[in-house]
A and B are shown apart, each in its own frame.
Chain A
Amino acid sequence: MGGLIELFTDYTLRNVALGSALLGVVSGVLGCFAVLRRQGLLGDALAHAALPGICLAYLLTASKTPVVLLLGAAVAGWLATLLILQIVKHTRISEDGALGIVLSTFFAFGIVLLTFITKRSDAHQSGLDKFLFGQAATLVEEHVITMAALGGAALGMVALLYKEFKLLAFDAPFAASLGFDTNVLSVLLTSLIVIAIVIGLQTVGVVLMAAMLIGPAVAARQWTDRLGVMIILAALFGAGAGVAGALISVSDKGIPTGPMIILSLTVIVLCSLFFAPARGLVWDALRRTRQRAALAK
């Protein structure tokens, strides 16, 4: 219980927990659309692709302000999406292959830039290497405010275009036939996911970001068949995992926050898969044994 009280009194912990919870809410909401559109791994590719964008933005402007880095990440993410689409459309390489190619080469280029920057400046001065694993423990109030602003804007867009995004997720051809520009909507949704990723890079880092998008959505999906409920649940699960991860990481020295958030999230996903009413695997198995027993009689 000591952790919970500290949550409200300890300045650092409050920022870390608040930041992680914010990330959980934003990525949970946007992840729902990504997962329903079967584009969960696109988020993974975008997260990896953001790295060279961030590094180039830093190299060009020598500034570490979140807005500049966000722009870099957004441009790189947009370029990566475009490349993936073109590869799938014009060659015989599958979407799976295109994702793998773009993800790994963008990340490799990012690593080249990152090591170039770190070796040039005083070691680790740029702080960019923190984006690899996140730096949740070093979140300060300024970061949290920026994250809240960005995340709030993204969530506002989702609220405004809820009907359109819903249509896009469940029946894109129908949306197109109604006169919605599905390409524009698609690009918009991807851009919002990039915002979630930029928030996430500060907290859980490039490699683990995929789980922040996919995990809450998959967990929430098990509890309901309604999109609205799913989104709210995903936001709650994401926030819960964020706070839990932050609390666990301060309980002992040397426990990184990002991985703890992901592991908490994994526990939530597993519980949902096994115990969610109606869709839970445990109930499914019980039902089957009971039926088998009834049949045997």
Chain B
Amino acid sequence: MTTAIFVIVLTGALVAAACALLGSFLVLRRMAMLADAISHAILPGIVAGYFFAQGPNLLAGFAGAALAAAVTVAVVEALQNTRRVGGESAIGIVFPAMFALGTFFVSKYFANVHLDNDAVLYGNIEFAAFDVLIINGVNWGPQSLWVLGALCVVNLLFVVLFFKELKLATFDPGLAAALGFSPALIHYALMTMVSITAVGAFTAVGAVLVVAFMIVPAATAYLLTDDLRRMIAIAVSVGILSAAGGFVVAFIFDASVAGAMATMAGICFLLALLFSPSHGLVTRFKRLRRQRMRLAMENLVVHLLNHEHVAYEEHEAEVNHLSSELRWQTGFARRVIGLAQRAQLVQLTDGHLALTDAGRELARRAAATTVEPSSDLLAASP
């Protein structure tokens, strides 16, 4: 039982790592939906491979799938080049056709024998430990670990060896072409790796969830860093983390392991979307509010400084007067004053505000860098 669990988690982690290695480039090159199309379209290829090999032969599956992927990419591009069909429509026509062909073959020739349609969608990772690799009668352990381990190594080599080319072709295809790297060649190489990875991951997580493992961790990483190397490293870590977390969830609820793993990746993405230090929605909202309050406090102290030591100082420093003078809502004014008090910029005595030394210092600095302080500044703040 424990070995089975270990094999399942390790399989999931290897799928996640292999997919995430390529995913960063897919996200950056806006090829997420093309990858989705490929992962669907390999189905008839795999089935045809199994058909000719008369059984679930791995190599035949690989060959068929690679062929199907090549056909898909070529047909999508040919359709786009006719200018009769929009780019996204071309994808939306080709992959359902291929997938329909695949499910037709599965129901007609393989019903419940080597493949069934549900496994096509979300895989059979639960049985990873029982599908062992036997060569010349020697038991080499679970086949999925060998296949996916090899896939990880191949993808890692691809990314490491061609890192410079991939990076250049992704961020500046024009320059890449000018320097003599063919962006088209790199494009097709990447597509080939995607299809090979999709086949390798097929038995474990099915054709539809592969794309979650490819794109979602990479998109999560894209929200967390600006550095490509770091992005790939984060994507792989997020993928492996989701695989482990997803298994626990699936174990508790007795649900699909591959589905739970992909869902965990989605939760990671949601967290990054909300709380990423640089790009998170909540973080950005908070930063905006902080900037607005800082500006308001500067306005407040500059206003007080301007009216220090003048005849009507008493009146200008009244809390109630501030709201109308700086055109602040009463609630907002109270919040700003509260913050300024806590920052020890002003002191409040009997409804009158007085600058502290720190407040006067800030006001002088702010007045030196800003023009006439007015409420317009607030409106103009980012």
Interface residues of A (CB under 8 A from B): 35, 38-41, 43-44, 48, 86-87, 90-94, 96-97, 99-101, 103-116, 119-120, 129, 132-133, 207-208, 210-211, 213-215, 217-218, 221-222, 254-256, 258-260, 262-263, 266, 269, 273, 279, 281
Whether A105 and B104, one on each chain, are in contact in the complex, defined by CB atoms closer than 8 angstroms, is no
Residue on B nearest A205 in the bound complex, by CB: B103
**What B residues does A273 contact at CB under 8 A?**
79, 82, 84-85
**What A residues does B107 contact at CB under 8 A?**
254-256, 259
Whether B92 and A40, one on each chain, are in contact in the complex, defined by CB atoms closer than 8 angstroms, is yes
| B259 adjacent to chain A (CB < 8 Å) | yes
Question: Which bracket fits the contact residues of B?
Answer: 35 or more
Please, how many angstroms separate the alpha-carbon atoms of A104 and B36 in the complex? 9
B124 to chain A, nearest CB (A): 12
Known contacts A215-B93, A260-B104: A103-B36 contact under CB 8 Å? yes
B220 to chain A, nearest CB (A): 9
Known contacts A41-B88, A207-B40, A259-B104: A97-B260 contact under CB 8 Å? no
Whether A40 and B89, one on each chain, are in contact in the complex, defined by CB atoms closer than 8 angstroms, is yes
Residue on A nearest B82 in the bound complex, by CB: A281
B108 to chain A, nearest CB (A): 5
B48 to chain A, nearest CB (A): 15
B42 to chain A, nearest CB (A): 14
**Contact among B104, B121, B216, B263 with A207 in the assembled complex (CB-CB below 8 Å):** B121
**What B residues does A256 contact at CB under 8 A?**
103-104, 107
**What B residues does A40 contact at CB under 8 A?**
86, 88-89, 92
| B241 adjacent to chain A (CB < 8 Å) | no
A277 to chain B, nearest CB (A): 13
User: Which of A44, A107, A259 counts the most chain B CB atoms within 10 A?
Assistant: A259
Residue on B nearest A273 in the bound complex, by CB: B84
User: Which of A40, A101, A269 counts the most chain B CB atoms within 10 A?
Assistant: A101
Residue on B nearest A93 in the bound complex, by CB: B219
**Contact among A103, A111, A254, A266 with B93 in the assembled complex (CB-CB below 8 Å):** A266
Whether B211 and A100, one on each chain, are in contact in the complex, defined by CB atoms closer than 8 angstroms, is yes
**What B residues does A87 contact at CB under 8 A?**
273
Residue on B nearest A91 in the bound complex, by CB: B279
**What B residues does A222 contact at CB under 8 A?**
84
| B212 adjacent to chain A (CB < 8 Å) | yes
| B247 adjacent to chain A (CB < 8 Å) | no
Whether B92 and A211, one on each chain, are in contact in the complex, defined by CB atoms closer than 8 angstroms, is yes
| B27 adjacent to chain A (CB < 8 Å) | yes
**What A residues does B69 contact at CB under 8 A?**
none
**What A residues does B279 contact at CB under 8 A?**
91-92
**Contact among B79, B97, B103, B118 with A129 in the assembled complex (CB-CB below 8 Å):** B118
3 pairs of A and B residues whose beta carbons are closest in the complex: A105-B266, A100-B32, A108-B262
**What A residues does B89 contact at CB under 8 A?**
35, 38, 40, 214, 217-218
Instruction: Other than A38-B88, A211-B93, A259-B107, give 19 A-B pairs with Cβ distance below 8 A.
Output: A40-B86, A40-B88, A93-B222, A96-B31, A97-B32, A100-B211, A101-B215, A108-B209, A109-B259, A109-B266, A110-B259, A112-B255, A112-B256, A114-B259, A115-B254, A214-B92, A214-B93, A218-B93, A255-B108
| B265 adjacent to chain A (CB < 8 Å) | yes
Known contacts A108-B209, A132-B121: A116-B255 contact under CB 8 Å? yes
Please, how many angstroms separate the alpha-carbon atoms of A269 and B75 in the complex? 13
16 contacts between A and B (CB under 8 A): A40-B86, A97-B215, A101-B32, A108-B258, A108-B259, A111-B259, A112-B259, A115-B255, A116-B254, A133-B117, A211-B97, A254-B108, A254-B111, A255-B107, A269-B93, A273-B85
Please, how many angstroms separate the alpha-carbon atoms of A87 and B32 in the complex? 14
| B33 adjacent to chain A (CB < 8 Å) | yes
B39 to chain A, nearest CB (A): 9
User: Which of B95, B100, B253, B254 counts the most chain A CB atoms within 10 A?
Assistant: B100
Whether B100 and A208, one on each chain, are in contact in the complex, defined by CB atoms closer than 8 angstroms, is yes
Interface residues of B in 202-221 (CB under 8 A from A): 208-209, 211-212, 215-216, 219
| B223 adjacent to chain A (CB < 8 Å) | yes
**What B residues does A120 contact at CB under 8 A?**
254
Whether B216 and A105, one on each chain, are in contact in the complex, defined by CB atoms closer than 8 angstroms, is yes
Residue on B nearest A259 in the bound complex, by CB: B100
**What A residues does B27 contact at CB under 8 A?**
93-94, 97
A43 to chain B, nearest CB (A): 8
Please, how many angstroms separate the alpha-carbon atoms of A174 and B4 in the complex? 61
Please, how many angstroms separate the alpha-carbon atoms of A140 and B30 in the complex? 43
Please, how many angstroms separate the alpha-carbon atoms of A111 and B259 in the complex? 6
Please, how many angstroms separate the alpha-carbon atoms of A266 and B82 in the complex? 17
| B377 adjacent to chain A (CB < 8 Å) | no
Whether B104 and A279, one on each chain, are in contact in the complex, defined by CB atoms closer than 8 angstroms, is no
A253 to chain B, nearest CB (A): 9
B207 to chain A, nearest CB (A): 9
Please, how many angstroms separate the alpha-carbon atoms of A39 and B91 in the complex? 12
Please, how many angstroms separate the alpha-carbon atoms of A92 and B225 in the complex? 12
B344 to chain A, nearest CB (A): 36
Whether B260 and A112, one on each chain, are in contact in the complex, defined by CB atoms closer than 8 angstroms, is yes
| B101 adjacent to chain A (CB < 8 Å) | yes
Mask: chain B, 250-283; 1 = CB below 8 Å from A; 0 = not: 1001111011111101100100010000010100
| B35 adjacent to chain A (CB < 8 Å) | yes
Whether B96 and A97, one on each chain, are in contact in the complex, defined by CB atoms closer than 8 angstroms, is no
| B122 adjacent to chain A (CB < 8 Å) | yes
User: Which of A120, A129, A256 counts the most chain B CB atoms within 10 A?
Assistant: A256
| B50 adjacent to chain A (CB < 8 Å) | no
Residue on B nearest A245 in the bound complex, by CB: B100
Please, how many angstroms separate the alpha-carbon atoms of A103 and B39 in the complex? 14
Known contacts A109-B266, A115-B259: A91-B31 contact under CB 8 Å? no
Known contacts A87-B273, A111-B258, A259-B104: A101-B253 contact under CB 8 Å? no
**What B residues does A35 contact at CB under 8 A?**
86, 89
User: Which of A94, A108, A222, A281 counts the most chain B CB atoms within 10 A?
Assistant: A108
